[in-house]
Amino acid sequence: MQAVSSKTKGLSGSVTIPGDKSISHRALMFGALAAGQTNITGLLESDDVLNTKQVLQDLGVDIRQQAEAYVVEGMGQKGFREPMSPLNCGNSGTAMRLLAGLIAGQGVGVTLMGDESLSKRPMKRVIVPLTQMGATVDAKQGGKPPLSISPSSLKPISYELPVASAQVKSCVLLAGLGIEGETTVIENEKSRDHTEKMLKAFGADIRVEDKDGQTHITICGGKQLTAQEVHVPADPSSAAFF
């Protein structure tokens, strides 16, 4: 069969740009920890984000779709239930690293697993600070998934990031959110600050200070988040395809 191409008059119309993935993950997680009902519009319905949704549901969180919004009935601090089976993060490194901190801080015993690709990615950079906080985290050789997190009594720490990483920073802050005292993450180079801004919007006691060329992010844990109305902004990079 011969393919024939010809000129067209061009395309015109409008497109709706999908929501930001990083913010979508965090909106679900923070809504799950908050007291009350969080409504999320613009959530990116990608496999990665939907895996985070399923993990939270497996921890006992009621998340449902209502019209164009996702409704998250928050469990509050220490409200998660222990799942009956491993929690599947799919291919999402963001989900696994953030959930490791969030779950460790909530004192729940879980195993976080992923697909074949994620199972080859090292998680040592979150295991190290969590272990310093007192968490018990078991992994395969090289710190690779699955990650088994045992219920532990954590303590706040001050942790200087070896390299800039929004995921590691978020992991430590989320672990600190669930324990009494001040946990501080020190950045020599700034990374994305979605976590800090969103936690503050959810009512967390968090402060960001510049000291001697470093950024200190400190969270005072043990306090309750408050449910919010969240609109996930569009990701400009997604518009590049069009």
DSSP 54-113: HHHHHTT-EEEEETTEEEEE---TT-PPPPSS-EE-TT-HHHHHHHHHHHHHHT--EEEE
Percent of the chain having pLDDT more than 70?
100
Tally of CB atoms within 10 A around 167: 21
Is 90 exceeded by the pLDDT of residue 239? no
Cα three-residue angle 204-22-155, rounded to 5 degrees: 40
Over residues 80-107, mean pLDDT: 96
pLDDT of residue 235: 87
pTM (whole model) above 0.75? yes
Q: What is the token pair recorded at 39?
A: 């409504």
Measured N-to-C along each axis, helices 194-201 and 166-177 cross at an angle, to the nearest 10 degrees, of 30
Looking at the predicted structure, is the pLDDT value of residue 238 above 80?
Answer: no
Query: 237 pLDDT exceeds 70?
Result: yes
Chain mean pLDDT for the chain: 95
The pLDDT value given to residue 227 = 98
Q: d(Cα 219, Cα 148) in Å, to the nearest integer?
A: 25
pLDDT value at residue 29 = 98
Quote the strand ranges of the chain, DSSP E.
Answer: 37-41, 62-66, 69-73, 87-88, 110-113, 136-140, 144-150, 158-160, 181-187, 205-211, 214-221, 229-231
Q: How confident is the model at residue 1 (pLDDT cuts 50, 70, 90)?
A: low
Residue 166 has pLDDT above 90, yes or no: yes
Q: Are 217 and 173 in contact (CB under 8 A)?
A: yes
Q: Stretch 11-26: mean pLDDT, rounded? A: 90
Confidence of residue 242 (pLDDT cuts 50, 70, 90): confident
